Amino acid sequence: MKTRKLSTPQFAVCVDNSEYPASLELHKIYRVLLDAEAAKDGDLRIIDESGEDYIYPADYFVVIDVPLEVARALNKSFTRGV
């Protein structure tokens, strides 16, 4: 019997906002949306300060692993701000 790995939401910490100071806050945790095309180009699709998703250079972020419980809490808190 195969075990199916559940997809855990991805998060990343902004480590460089030099070109996008109005859209990204340094050291803030952002949600990452899976985007294979963006990844091929070395980018990440991030939900930024506008609440919309945009593509940014991946080296502006460090993707972090968080426990599922933390991911759920973060997702819940992000939706409160909408």
- pLDDT greater than 50 at residue 20: yes
**What is the pLDDT confidence band of residue 9, given thresholds at 50, 70 and 90?**
low
Look-up of token digits 């502006």: 60
Question: Domain coordinates of the chain in residue numbers?
Answer: 10-80
- pLDDT, residue 23, reads 95
Q: Does the domain spanning 10-80 belong to CATH 3.10.450?
A: no
- pLDDT greater than 50 at residue 51: yes
Q: Give dist(CA 22, CA 53) in Å, integer.
A: 14
Task: Give just the sign of the alpha carbon dihedral 30, 33, 35, 36.
Answer: positive
Average pLDDT, the chain: 87
**What is the pLDDT confidence band of residue 36, given thresholds at 50, 70 and 90?**
very high
DSSP state of 60: G
